[in-house]
Amino acid sequence: MSDEDLADEWGAALEDEDGEDGAARVLNQAEIDSLLGFDDGDDMDSDTSGIHAIVNSALVSYERLPMLEVVFDRLVRMMSTSLRNFTSDNVEVSLDNINSIRFGDYLNSIPLPAMLAVFKAEEWDNYGLLVVDSALIYSIVDVLLGGRRGTAAMRIEGRPYTTIERNLVERMVNVVLNDLSAAFDPLSPVTFRFERLETNPRFATIARPANAAIVARLRIDMEDRGGRLELLLPYATLEPVRELLLQMFMGEKFGRDSIWETHLATELWDTDVELEAVLDEKVISLQDIINLKVGSRIVFNCTPQSTIALSCGNIRLFGGKMGRKGSSIAIRINQRHRNMSAG
């Protein structure tokens, strides 16, 4: 059968499956979105599916770092106090959510205008990002410059941020970074140092777009004013303390159980071990062993004054002199082997 005949037969089979006209089934937009995992349902917090879920499967969920949530809880409590002292106003700080996201996706999702503060973790030798949205910027400026309470902060669009606004936001960022350092301090001492303030997200690129990061979204309310503050820490930045963040509680010892260790040590002290007293050893050839007969003699070089080795298995423990106690042969230990000196 030729290739053309095979092609004709295959085409006829497809026509039988799809119908008389042989038309292929066309997916509508809803089916395509469902396949790719971009279905816009009512439940926006539901788990993604399809190709979108496969692509994001490489992301490490922040839930695998239990201690990180404890650190952010400490940060919220400390910021509530420090920002009240900083603004001399009633400030409430709340943690909205913590998410894992790719750095490139987050950079593209930042609502502009905003200020992006780049900071460095000195001890970890890596960087993080602090994003202050426009509502919080104008609220902080209004509060620090004596704006009246109960009035919303005035927002002027279409102009860059002034030097005064940038300086005031930089002061607030330094307060937040000091609190972040203090929040990590019980876990691992680290100093977060302010590097620069950017308004263009492209100038605040601190990681590759495909790299995973953790984003903590904070809400700061000052009576009728306030805004959002977002803290981004790439997983590469947290890598030096990843083992500590995996703890379920502060001071957890991985792979260790103190109760089991105590029980095992107690049982080891009560374990019976067999000691062998080796009078002497002699190396002979296999030919001599084959020639041994009943009545043959093997002569050793030990004397009554020779040191007898006491061993457990292949490990030599002690040395001593052989003697007699009553009707039994005894060995008086007078030296300890160097392997036992540390015991």
CATH assignment at residue 232: 3.40.1550.10
Domain membership flag for residue 325: yes
Tell me, what's the pLDDT at 149?
64
Same domain, 145 and 95: yes
114-140 pLDDT tens trace: 899 999 999 999 999 999 998 899 888
Same domain, 76 and 43: no
Same domain, 198 and 324: no
Compute how many other C-beta atoms are within 10 angstroms of the C-beta atom of residue 131: 23
Which one-letter DSSP state was computed for residue 239?
G
Domain membership flag for residue 264: no
328 vs 12, more confident: 328
Domain membership flag for residue 165: yes
| Residue 181 pLDDT level (bands cut at 50, 70, 90) | very high
For residue 86, give the amino acid letter. F
142 vs 256, more confident: 142
Percentage of residues of the chain with pLDDT beyond 70: 76
102-118 pLDDT tens trace: 998 899 888 888 899 99
Domain with 297 in it: 272-340
Same domain, 102 and 235: yes
Helices 66-87 and 163-184: crossing angle in degrees, nearest 10, is: 140
| Residue 44 pLDDT level (bands cut at 50, 70, 90) | very low
Q: Six-digit token pair at 235?
A: 């997983």
294 vs 58, more confident: 294
Total number of domains in the chain: 3
Is the pLDDT confidence value at 37 over 60? no
Give the span between the Cα atoms of 209 and 159, in whole angstroms.
29
Is the pLDDT confidence value at 61 over 60? no
Same domain, 186 and 224: yes
257-289 pLDDT tens trace: 677 778 888 888 888 888 888 888 888 889 988
> Tokens 């994001």 map to which residue?
56
Same domain, 157 and 230: yes
Same domain, 174 and 106: yes
| Residue 68 pLDDT level (bands cut at 50, 70, 90) | confident
Give the span between the Cα atoms of 86 and 91, in whole angstroms.
10
CATH assignment at residue 300: 2.30.330.10
Same domain, 70 and 194: yes
Domain membership flag for residue 37: yes
243-256 pLDDT tens trace: 888 877 665 555 45
pTM of the model: 0.58
189-202 pLDDT tens trace: 899 999 999 988 88
Same domain, 79 and 220: yes
How are the residues of the chain apportioned to helix, strand and coil, as percentages rounded to the nearest 5? 40, 25, 35
319 vs 4, more confident: 319
102 vs 31, more confident: 102
Helices 134-144 and 163-184: crossing angle in degrees, nearest 10, is: 100
Task: Please state, rounded to an integer, the average pLDDT across all residues of the chain.
Answer: 80
| Residue 224 pLDDT level (bands cut at 50, 70, 90) | confident
Same domain, 34 and 119: no
Q: Six-digit token pair at 229?
A: 């503050």
Tell me, what's the pLDDT at 154?
56
Compute how many other C-beta atoms are within 10 angstroms of the C-beta atom of residue 98: 17
Least confident stretch, 28-42, 68-82, 111-125, 251-265: 28-42
Tell me, what's the pLDDT at 244?
83
Give the span between the Cα atoms of 46 and 283, in whole angstroms.
76
Tell me, what's the pLDDT at 317?
83
Same domain, 84 and 46: no
